[in-house]
Structure 1
């Protein structure tokens, strides 16, 4: 900011002086000073504007701290110390995948996968059913599960349901039973 008043401020000051407001007010309402030239003196105004613009910088420059940065809530990231000691990482991983497979069973995905494996094994061969099961697991793991692992834990768990169910159906498929 500059110390010299801008044109609007000078205009208001002059108006107030003419109406008798302030310590340097004019006694006569029809002051004879050349107020118009004082207000619109081009050299001072342009210099002041350029100086203010240089101090301000660009008008639409982004401010780095203006927008909040998304972050994971502390509830999801902070694991209590006792919980980490109580359950080992392998057990936690097994519970995570088993619960996803159980959810797939409850949703009816297991029956569909098991039926597709049994039907392929009956119509073609056991090796064809194994190719279907392993190929299906690889496709789901590569195109779906690999891209959803970094999501928030609850959503990543829901995205794990198809892969865990396909692996469960392949593991429980018994070709000699049909």
Structure 2
């Protein structure tokens, strides 16, 4: 019967590092508090523990933040206007921008064309499907953007909802 090969220096070093961290088959329970540093049963490989090559100071990396005057203004605005009113103003102004940009006329023209060519039900399905498609593909992915950019990204959905709401085939 042959003896198994002896572990190499790298394996011994890794074993001792794992034991110091409390990992391995003969390590302590990981959830139990440590009484002190673990003592290795096997001899150390003689290599000193090296310090990390790069350890930045805590204040080294810049942390972007919003300027103080914006935070103070935002805090006052939240207390002055209710969330429902803010949501109404946000969506109404986005729909108004879509109207000014000419998007409303494109959406309304597509609904009217579908309503006259096929049916009113088809136009309503087209409008509702378009709103759902814009909401799912575009708007849901842009809500977390900065407020001004998120507002600009809300323009297509607000305009499509407005065109669908104002669609009056019997008028």
TM-score, reference length from structure 1: 0.62
Structure 1, unaligned runs of 5 or more: 1-49
**Residue of structure 1 equivalent to 2:154:** 160
- Confirm or deny: 8 A CA contact 1:76 1:153 kept in the other structure: no
Q: Flag the 1:89–1:112 CA change in 2: closer, same or farther, 3 A.
A: same
Q: Distance in 1 between matches of 2:139 and 2:70?
A: 20
2:110 corresponds to 1:116:
yes
- Confirm or deny: 8 A CA contact 1:126 1:175 kept in the other structure: yes
Structure with higher helix content: 1
Q: Distance in 1 between matches of 2:69 and 2:141?
A: 23
Q: Flag the 1:72–1:138 CA change in 2: closer, same or farther, 3 A.
A: farther
How many residues were matched structurally? 125
2:145 corresponds, among 123, 146, 151, to: 151
- Confirm or deny: 8 A CA contact 1:100 1:161 kept in the other structure: yes
Runs of 4+ in 1 over 6 A off after TM superposition: none
**Residue of structure 1 equivalent to 2:120:** 126
SS in 1 for 2:61: coil
The structural deviation recorded for 1:58 is 2.8
TM-score, reference length from structure 2: 0.64
Q: Distance in 2 between matches of 1:63 and 1:82?
A: 36
Structure 2, unaligned runs of 5 or more: 1-46
Q: Distance in 1 between matches of 2:75 and 2:138?
A: 32
Could you list the per-position Cα deviations for residues 45-93 of structure 1 after superposition, in whole angstroms to 9, with x for gaps in the alignment?
xxxxx98x94xx2324565543223334444444455533432211111
Correspondences of 1:1-178 after superposition (within 5 Å) = 54=50, 57-61=51-55, 65-79=59-73, 82-177=76-171
Could you list the per-position Cα deviations for residues 2-49 of structure 1 after superposition, in whole angstroms to 9, with x for gaps in the alignment?
xxxxxxxxxxxxxxxxxxxxxxxxxxxxxxxxxxxxxxxxxxxxxxxx
